[in-house]
Chain A
C-alpha cells in the first residue's frame, strides 16, 4: 500500500540500522576485546621484570605438563568422538568406563608394588597394567552399550542422553560401594620417576611415556579406521547407517566394535592418568570426562584428529593459559581461573566454528 507521503510499505527497503547484522557485529567486537585482553596479558607476562619473569625451564614445564595432560584427555575424547560419529549420541558414562579401568589396574598395581614385581619388571608391569585396564574398560563399555543404549536405538535423541547421565551416576556410585569412598595411591615404578636428559633437555619420564603412548594409539586408530575393512564399515555406518545396513554391513556389530575401541582407549588413558597423578578414586572419571567431552567438541565432534587436537589444545590451555595471560595482570592465584579460561575459549571457538575446529563449520545438533 505505498503512498506518496513516504510511509514505507511492508516488505520494502529496510533502513541502514536494520540491515546491519547486529549479532555478528557484537560477536566480532566481543571476540576482538577478548583477544585484546589475551594479547595484552601475554605481552605483560613476557615483559615482566627479569626477576619476576618465568624462566625458559618453567615455560617448558608448563608446556610439557599441558601436553601430557592433554594427551590423556585426547585418548578419552576419542571414545566420545567415535561413539558420536556412529550413533550421534554423547556417551556421558565414558568417564566411568575410564574410572573402572583405572581402579581395576590399581588392584594389580598395588599387589605388584608390595611384592616388588612392579620395580623389578617395570616395563612388563606397565604393559600388563595397560592390558588389564583396557580389558576392564572394554567390558564396562560393552555392558553399557548392551544394557543402556541398545534398547534406545530408535528413541528420540534426548532419551539416550539422559540414560547416559543416569548410567554415569550409577557406575560411579557402584564403584563407591565396591571400593569405598577414599582415594588410593597408585604406585609408580622407580624407573619412571624423575627425568631423562634428551638432547640436553630434561624431560620428565612419565610425560614422555604418556606422549609416546598416545601418539602411537592415535596413529594406530587412524590407520585402523582408514585401512581396514572394519574401519571402512565404521565410516560407512557413521555416514549413513540405513544405507550401510542395506549394503550388508552388520550395524549392530559395528556399534559394538566402536564401543569396544572406545573402551580400549579409555583403558590406556586410565593407566597413564593414574601414574601421572598417582591416585585413583571412585569419582576420578567425572572431571576428565567433562574435559574430554569439551575437547571433542572443541576439536570437532565426530572427527578423530579433531578429538586429538582438542585434547592437546585443552591441556595446553589449562596449563599455559593462566600462566601466560593472567600472570601479566597480577591476578593472585591465577590457576583458580583455569576452568573459566578454558571454557571461555571453547565458547569463542564455537561461536565462529560451531562444528569445532576441525569440524564442518556447521552446527551439529546433539
Chain B
C-alpha cells in the first residue's frame, strides 16, 4: 500500500514537471514569421529561409550571449573576454561610463555561459543557447576544443552566429571543417606558430627544439604549426611529446625530452600544464634550456602558481602583441583605463578581441535590422551572418578587421613574445613590452 502511494506521488510529480517544462518555454513565437515591410535598414527582412529571423519587440532588449571559459583553471581567459564584451555594450553611448548604452533604441543584455574549455562544456553551453530563439548571436568560445565540431556546429545548425575572440586553432577556419556561422577576431595559429619559430631560430639562434602538447585541438594545432615552420627554417625537432591536460606528473615526459637535448621546449598548452611544465621541467632539463608557452599560458593563474622566474631557466610566452594594437591612442588612453577602472588589471589579452568582435556585430546588426516603424526589430540570421562576413577594413582595437569567407577576420596579425614574468596581465612585472614582435598574414605562413 505504502509503495503504491509513493509511486503515485512520483508519477504525479513527473507529470507536473513535464507540464511545467512545456508551459515554461513559451516565448513570443519568434520563429519564421515574415516581417512586415517598412522603413528598415535595408527594406523588408527575409525570414523565409531555414534559419528565420529574430524578433525583438519595442522595449525588449537585444539578447546577446557569451560562451566563454569562466570557471576552472582557465577562468582568467573567459572572464577577461566577457569584460571586453561588457565594455563594448558600455560604449554604445559613446562613453566608458559604466552605464550601458542602447543599440537601435534597445537595451543589450549579455547572457554568460561557460564553455568549460572542453568539448563537453562547449556542447552543454551551445545546446543551452541554441534552444533559446531570442539570442541574436554568441561571442565565444574561449577554447578551440569547445568550438571545433561542437559549438560551431550546434549553433550553426540553428543559424546562430558564433563569433570567437580567442579560438586560434587553424582547423576552425579550414576548408574541410569551417562551419558557415562561425567567425573569429582572434588570429589563426598558423601565424603564431610561424612567428614563434622565427623567434627561436632567428632571434634566440637555437636550432633544436622539442614540443610537448596536450590533447586539445588548440595545443595540437599550434605545436604542429611551430614544427612545420621551424623545420622549414632549418631547425631540427628532437622530440614530440603529448600529455593530458589533467596530468600533474610531468617528470617522466620531461626526462624523456631532456635525453634528446633540445635547446628549446615548446609547450603551447593551457594552465596548469604550462605552469607545471615550467616548475617541474626546470628540475629536469639541462641548465639554460628555454621553455616557451603560448597565449593559453599567458594568464595570471600561471603567475600565481609559479611565482618568481626560475634561475637559469628562461620562460617566454607568445601572444597577440597588445602594445602594437593599431587602436593606439584610443586603446591606451580610453579603453585600457576604462577596463582597469571597472574590472582591475586585465588577466588576459583577448579582451580587446572580444571588444572588436562585439562592435563588428553591433555594426552588422545596425545594417541589417529592420524596424517596422514602432520600434519592433526583425533581424534575419542569414543577413546578419552575411553582414559580419562582409566586414572589410574595419579599424578595431586589435588592428584591421577584414573577414575572409572561411571566418578569419584578423588580417595582419602581430604576435609578441613576452619574457616571464614581464607579462601584460595581472601579476606581471613592468616593463611589459615584448622582447620580440612580428607581423604576418596568412599568406606568409605554411
Measured CB to CB, the closest approach of chain A to B299, in angstroms, equals: 10
B275 within 8 A of A: yes
B240 within 8 A of A: yes
Measured CB to CB, the closest approach of chain B to A317, in angstroms, equals: 11
| A335 lies within 8 A of B252 (CB) | yes
A58 within 8 A of B: yes
| B304 lies within 8 A of A284 (CB) | no
Selected from A277, A332, A333, A336, the residue in CB contact (under 8 A) with B248 is A277
Determine the interface band of chain A, counting residues with CB < 8 A from chain B.
Answer: 20 to 34
Give the CA-CA distance A334 to B275 in the complex, in Å.
22
Chain B residue nearest to A282 (CB atoms) is B72
Selected from B73, B258, B283, B307, the residue in CB contact (under 8 A) with A183 is B73
Contacts of B73 in A (CB 8 A): 181-183, 281
| B72 lies within 8 A of A182 (CB) | yes
Selected from B271, B276, B304, the residue in CB contact (under 8 A) with A277 is B276
Contacts of B271 in A (CB 8 A): 183
Give the CA-CA distance A319 to B254 in the complex, in Å.
11
Give the CA-CA distance A72 to B126 in the complex, in Å.
41
Contacts of A333 in B (CB 8 A): 240-242
| B71 lies within 8 A of A277 (CB) | no
| B284 lies within 8 A of A278 (CB) | no
B370 within 8 A of A: no
Give the CA-CA distance A167 to B306 in the complex, in Å.
32
Given the known interface contacts A69-B249, A318-B252, the answer about A61 and B306 at a Cβ–Cβ threshold of 8 Å is no
Give the CA-CA distance A18 to B199 in the complex, in Å.
70
Contacts of A62 in B (CB 8 A): 252, 255
B253 within 8 A of A: yes
Give the CA-CA distance A336 to B304 in the complex, in Å.
28
Contacts of B242 in A (CB 8 A): 333, 335-336
In the complex, which residues 176-190 of chain A have their Cβ closer than 8 Å to any Cβ of chain B? 181-185
A279 within 8 A of B: yes
Contact code string A102-116 (vs B, CB < 8 Å = 1, else 0): 000000000000000
A54 within 8 A of B: yes
Contact code string A152-182 (vs B, CB < 8 Å = 1, else 0): 0000000000000000000000000000011
In the complex, which residues 45-76 of chain B have their Cβ closer than 8 Å to any Cβ of chain A? 71-73, 75
Give the CA-CA distance A193 to B153 in the complex, in Å.
48
Measured CB to CB, the closest approach of chain B to A292, in angstroms, equals: 14
Chain A residue nearest to B76 (CB atoms) is A182
Selected from B240, B248, B258, B283, the residue in CB contact (under 8 A) with A58 is B258
A265 within 8 A of B: no
A322 within 8 A of B: yes
* Chain B facing A: main interface SS: helix
Measured CB to CB, the closest approach of chain B to A326, in angstroms, equals: 10
Contacts of A44 in B (CB 8 A): none
A338 within 8 A of B: yes
Give the CA-CA distance A66 to B275 in the complex, in Å.
21
Contact code string A214-249 (vs B, CB < 8 Å = 1, else 0): 000000000000000000000000000000000000
Selected from B72, B240, B304, the residue in CB contact (under 8 A) with A184 is B304
| B252 lies within 8 A of A279 (CB) | no
Contacts of A278 in B (CB 8 A): 276, 279-280, 305
Measured CB to CB, the closest approach of chain B to A360, in angstroms, equals: 32
Measured CB to CB, the closest approach of chain B to A164, in angstroms, equals: 22
| A61 lies within 8 A of B255 (CB) | yes
B103 within 8 A of A: no
In the complex, which residues 369-420 of chain B have their Cβ closer than 8 Å to any Cβ of chain A? none
B104 within 8 A of A: no
In the complex, which residues 267-320 of chain A have their Cβ closer than 8 Å to any Cβ of chain B? 277-279, 281, 283-284, 287, 318-319
| B253 lies within 8 A of A335 (CB) | yes
| B255 lies within 8 A of A183 (CB) | no
Given the known interface contacts A181-B73, A185-B305, A185-B306, the answer about A279 and B275 at a Cβ–Cβ threshold of 8 Å is yes
A13 within 8 A of B: no
Contact code string A244-273 (vs B, CB < 8 Å = 1, else 0): 000000000000000000000000000000
Q: Count of A-B contacts with CB under 8 A?
A: 83
Measured CB to CB, the closest approach of chain A to B397, in angstroms, equals: 28
B259 within 8 A of A: yes
| A65 lies within 8 A of B243 (CB) | no
A323 within 8 A of B: yes
| A182 lies within 8 A of B241 (CB) | no
Give the CA-CA distance A62 to B258 in the complex, in Å.
11
| B252 lies within 8 A of A185 (CB) | no
Given the known interface contacts A66-B252, A278-B280, A322-B252, the answer about A58 and B259 at a Cβ–Cβ threshold of 8 Å is yes
Selected from B72, B251, B272, B306, the residue in CB contact (under 8 A) with A65 is B251
In the complex, which residues 237-264 of chain B have their Cβ closer than 8 Å to any Cβ of chain A? 240-243, 246, 248-249, 251-253, 255-256, 258-259
B301 within 8 A of A: yes
Given the known interface contacts A55-B259, A181-B71, the answer about A335 and B243 at a Cβ–Cβ threshold of 8 Å is yes
Given the known interface contacts A54-B259, A323-B252, the answer about A336 and B284 at a Cβ–Cβ threshold of 8 Å is no
Contacts of A125 in B (CB 8 A): none
| B249 lies within 8 A of A277 (CB) | yes
A204 within 8 A of B: yes
| A58 lies within 8 A of B304 (CB) | no
Give the CA-CA distance A278 to B253 in the complex, in Å.
16
Contacts of A66 in B (CB 8 A): 252
| B252 lies within 8 A of A183 (CB) | no
Given the known interface contacts A54-B259, A319-B252, A338-B252, the answer about A185 and B243 at a Cβ–Cβ threshold of 8 Å is no
Given the known interface contacts A319-B251, A322-B252, A336-B243, the answer about A181 and B72 at a Cβ–Cβ threshold of 8 Å is yes
Measured CB to CB, the closest approach of chain A to B240, in angstroms, equals: 5
Give the CA-CA distance A283 to B71 in the complex, in Å.
14
Contacts of B306 in A (CB 8 A): 185
Give the CA-CA distance A69 to B73 in the complex, in Å.
24
Contacts of A318 in B (CB 8 A): 249, 252
Give the CA-CA distance A171 to B403 in the complex, in Å.
48
Contact code string A330-349 (vs B, CB < 8 Å = 1, else 0): 00111110100000000000
A selection of 10 A-B contacts at a CB cut-off of 8 Å is A54-B259, A183-B271, A277-B248, A277-B280, A278-B305, A279-B276, A279-B305, A281-B272, A323-B255, A332-B240
> Could you list 19 further interchain pairs (A-B, Cβ under 8 angstroms) beyond the known A184-B304, A281-B73, A319-B251?
A58-B255, A61-B258, A62-B255, A65-B251, A65-B255, A66-B252, A182-B72, A182-B301, A277-B248, A277-B280, A279-B248, A281-B272, A284-B248, A287-B248, A318-B252, A333-B240, A333-B242, A334-B256, A336-B243
Where the two chains meet, the residues of A that have a C-beta atom closer than 8 Å to any C-beta of B are: 54-55, 58, 61-62, 65-66, 69, 181-185, 193, 204, 277-279, 281, 283-284, 287, 318-319, 322-323, 327, 332-336, 338
Ordered nearest first, which 4 A-B pairs have the shortest CB separation?
A185-B305, A333-B242, A65-B251, A181-B72
